Chain A
Amino acid sequence: MNRRDEILAIVLSALESLNEELDEAARVEIGPTTPLFGADATLDSLSLVSVIVDVETALTMKWDAPISLTDDRAMSREVSPFDDVGTLTDYILELLQETSPA
């Protein structure tokens, strides 16, 4: 499994954990293009926070380095890293290349 696939697995796992906490009607469809933020997203803000926290924790434990997904850099990008699962995965890959080069 390459690094991008590992990251994608972490993000999808966080969404699965979220779904376990939600009522059936509120659960999100999980996949590489699941919208996370914006007009097409079905997650509410606290749900997105839960996903971000779970992803950060998993990344930090796996690569033994503190990883923050919500710093100024993330917030100032033209395309939000949180648009969907794919953009988040790509953003995390970019961060990891800097902090823990493969």
Chain B
Amino acid sequence: MDLYLGKTALVTGATRGVGRIIAEHFLDEGAAVVGFARGEPTLTAAAYHHVQVDLADPMAIQKAFLGLHKQVASLDIVVNNAAVLTSQYAMIMPPAAAQAMVNVNLLAPFIVSREAAKFMRKSKWGRIINIGSMAVSLEPMGDSVYAATKAGLSTLANVMAKEFGPMNVTCNTLGITAIESDMLAQLPRDKIEAIIASLPAPRFATPADILNVVDFFAAEASSYVTAQTVYLGGVN
């Protein structure tokens, strides 16, 4: 369908899970895609450019963007998807694990969005989409830091929406539920299934569910949709 012909999209955490689903979708729909991830690329396409970067390191992200200015003329869509999750009760959560979640889940999206906005400023067009989580609403025990970083992601987008609005850049957040992924595999299955069973739409998310909202946020017609968080599955 070539929804994104002529557009360049950046997806963080593009090598697996939701990030890979989104990156593949953008490629299928005609976009050039830049993938930021810690590991080696898992996508092979002429229009795919992989950048190995440790998203926990702010300087590494800035250095990656310095290189990107030489590779691409514009950056139109950014999906802040990469995240790390350590579930542990607050009193025994290792500080290093908490810091890692803050760095990857919140600080990295801030820096990526900021640097991407500098590109988008030139073209006066942009879509920044943060991948949030139902954990913000459900607030499960063991996920104090994870849920806090994902909640912060929404607020980050909402404030950036005000700052970047004059540049025709929208900033929105998609709160996903559970989708089969490496991240989900870290959690007790029975716990996840109980949460899913309690949702108004009691099923796991599918790639189509996620891409539906990503496409909505990224659409040209959505220029008046900004500072919004949409949750899947009936979470509110």
A99 within 8 A of B: no
**How many residues does chain A have at the interface if contact means C-beta atoms less than 8 Å apart?**
10
Q: Report, nearest first, the 10 A-B pairs whose CB atoms are least far apart.
A: A66-B66, A53-B118, A57-B118, A66-B62, A61-B69, A60-B66, A53-B121, A46-B163, A66-B63, A50-B121
Chain B interface, >50% SS class: helix
List of A residues within 8 angstroms of B163 by Cβ: 46, 49
Is B94 on the interface with A (CB-CB < 8 A)?
A: no
Binary CB contact string for chain B from 9 to 48 against chain A (1 if under 8 A, 0 otherwise): 0000000000000000000000000000000000000000
The total of chain B residues at the interface (CB under 8 A) is 8
Q: What number of residue pairs across chains A and B have CB atoms under 8 A from each other?
A: 16
Contacts of B166 in A (CB 8 A): 46
Query: Which chain B residue has the least Cβ–Cβ distance from A60?
Result: B66
Residues 38-67 of A, flagged 1 when their CB comes within 8 A of B and 0 if not, give: 000000001001100110110011000010
Distance in Å from the Cβ of B124 to the closest Cβ of chain A?
A: 9
Which residues of B are in contact with A by a Cβ distance under 8 Å? 62-63, 66, 69, 118, 121, 163, 166
**Contact residues in B for A49 (Cβ distance below 8 Å):** 163
List B contacts of A54 (CB < 8 A).
121
Chain B's nearest CB lies how many Å from the CB of A46?
Answer: 7
5 residue pairs of the A-B complex, CB under 8 angstroms, read A53-B118, A56-B118, A57-B118, A60-B69, A66-B62
Complex CA gap A61/B71 in Å reads 12
B41 to chain A, nearest CB (A): 25
- The residues of B that contact A60 with a CB separation of less than 8 Å are 66, 69
* Minimum C-beta distance from A45 to chain B (A): 10
* Whole-angstrom CA separation of A54 from B69 in the bound complex: 13
In the complex, what residues of A have CB within 8 A of residue B63's CB?
66
A22 to B163, CA, bound (A): 16
CA distance A57 to B62 in the complex (A): 12
> In the complex, what distance in Å separates the CA atom of A66 from the CA atom of B121?
18
Distance (Å) between the CB of B70 and the closest chain A CB?
Answer: 8
